[in-house]
Chains A and B, each alone.
Chain A
Amino acid sequence: MSTDKLTCKQVARILSDGLDAQMPPAERTRLRLHMVVCEACRNVEQQFDLLRRLMRKAGPAERDDIPDDER
């Protein structure tokens, strides 16, 4: 196992890969270490998770008549 610290760029890719395949245990440990110290990457992890939930919920719905600027 490499003890090199992960960069945020590597972490973003690992977080994405982790949503699609099992992560090797060694990589998971390095990832968790990074997440403990990096708030930006913690935010990205939550945002990737939210993206997944949004996509699972997405689909044709009764909203074709919602004006674009209605919030």
Chain B
Amino acid sequence: MSPLERELAALHKPLLRYAKLQLRDQAAAEDAVSATLLAILERPDAFRGGSSLRTYATGILKHKLVDQIRRCSREVAIEPLDEQSLDEALDSLFNETGHWCERPVAWVEPERAVEQAQMMKVLERCLENMPARLARVFMMREWLEKETHEVCDELGITANNCHVMLFRARMLLRACLDTNWFQRTTS
């Protein structure tokens, strides 16, 4: 194995984990990661070492994931959203006058959190536990950094539906990080 191949072998699992987080489909995720690794192996000279191989491979993976979503977003079977229970969960955060039941408090040392690998693991777990449809829309917007209209177009959903899903995703993630990271670090 060449040094590049060894490095790619070490990257395989982390890349696959993120591909699965985005696509929520094992086979499609494996395809996207294989396409990524192949692209690098076919043109090893294109990687000039200006960034880490990880960063380079992640950039390619993001493009492959967008391709994959374009090709088969409507084919991948993803569990339907339980809209009612999501709405109820959101509603329960507010009282009848629309104010917070439990007022969100400031997170302690948020800048430090951004730098911590362990924080990223908590974030990944929160994403894993989020309903698949929400996570897919949210990650397209925030991780693949697609414009909202591109997310809507590529997934075939209305702009309003897209905004509602992004809102729900942010509220769920906010609560998940609040519970699993920020309250733990202050207790």
Contacts and interface: CB of A to CB of B under 8 A. Distances in A.
Majority secondary structure, A binding face:
helix
Contacts of B117: 61, 63, 66
A64 B94 CA distance: 38
**Category for how many chain A residues contact B:** 35 or more
Majority secondary structure, B binding face:
helix
Contact of A60 (B18, B148, B166): B18
B173 A51 contact: yes
Given A60-B15, A63-B121, A40 B104 contact: yes
Contact of B167 (A17, A41, A50): A17
A29 interface: no
A20 B146 CA distance: 10
B170 interface: yes
B15 A53 contact: no
Contacts of A8: 94, 98-100
A70 B171 contact: no
Given A10-B98, A50-B110, A61 B118 contact: no
A61 B61 CA distance: 13
Contacts of A68: 121
Interface residues of B, number: 50
Interface stretch (B40-48, B68-76, B137-145): B137-145
Nearest to B185: A71
The residue among A39, A51, A70 with the most chain B CB atoms within 10 A of its own CB is A51
A46 B145 contact: no
A57 B117 CA distance: 11
Given A7-B97, A54-B114, A58-B124, 5 more contacts: A59-B54, A59-B55, A60-B57, A61-B120, A63-B121
8 contacts: A8-B99, A16-B167, A19-B170, A40-B103, A50-B110, A51-B177, A55-B143, A60-B18
Interface of A: 7-10, 12-13, 16-17, 19-21, 39-41, 43-44, 46-48, 50-64, 66, 68, 70-71
